Amino acid sequence: MNTVKPAAELLGQLAEAMRPAVTPDTVLVGIYTGGVWIAEWLRDVLGVKAAVGSIDVSYHRDDHHLGGGRGGGKASQLRFDVEGAHVVIVDDVLATGRTIRAAMNELFDYGRPARIDLAVLVDRGGRELPIAARWMAQTVSLPASQTLELTRNDDGELAFRVTEK
């Protein structure tokens, strides 16, 4: 396993990588919950005009029977027109690709974007679907027995925690 860099450092790297391609009209959609925290931070740093959207992927997961998914019944909130928009889906950790596939399905329920990109802080590998992030701050290798979770403390600081399944 390689060490995950501090979240603050990864956020800065991600923002700088995205800056050339993101305009004020780009819309950011975070996946509950870590992706929403990241998208809110990116919105302020990158000067995006629209409110951050949030997606709960739990209704579009294809692995409920295996205990997959996260979210937990929160309603997706997209306060902008998805039709024809450049949408960046934001998440904390990219692994199998199933969460991102579910997020795209949910997004298409709201309209047809002109373009969808993906931004993640960490790519941990283990892909089961052909999904790749346009922007990622770090790639790490973790055993399948471990999970990588983004947490936020009372002061709003983000940090990664590695736990055993």
CATH at residue 66: 3.40.50.2020
Q: Is residue 1 part of a domain?
A: no
Identify whether the C-beta of residue 163 lies closer than 8 Å to the C-beta of residue 149: yes
pLDDT given at position 32: 94
- Into how many domains does the chain fold? 1
Q: How confident is the model over 43-74, as pLDDT tens digits?
A: 999 999 999 999 999 877 665 555 555 545 68
pLDDT given at position 66: 53
Task: State the burial class of residue 56 (Cβ atoms within 10 Å of its Cβ: 0-12, 13-18, 19+).
Answer: buried
Q: Is residue 68 part of a domain?
A: yes
User: 62 lies in which domain range?
Assistant: 7-164
Q: Is residue 85 part of a domain?
A: yes
Q: Is residue 2 part of a domain?
A: no
Place of tokens 């909130």: 77
Which ranges of the chain have pLDDT less than 70? 1, 61-73
Q: Is residue 96 part of a domain?
A: yes
* pTM for the model: 0.92
pLDDT given at position 72: 56
Residue 83 is classified by DSSP as T
d(CA 99, CA 144): 16
pLDDT given at position 125: 93
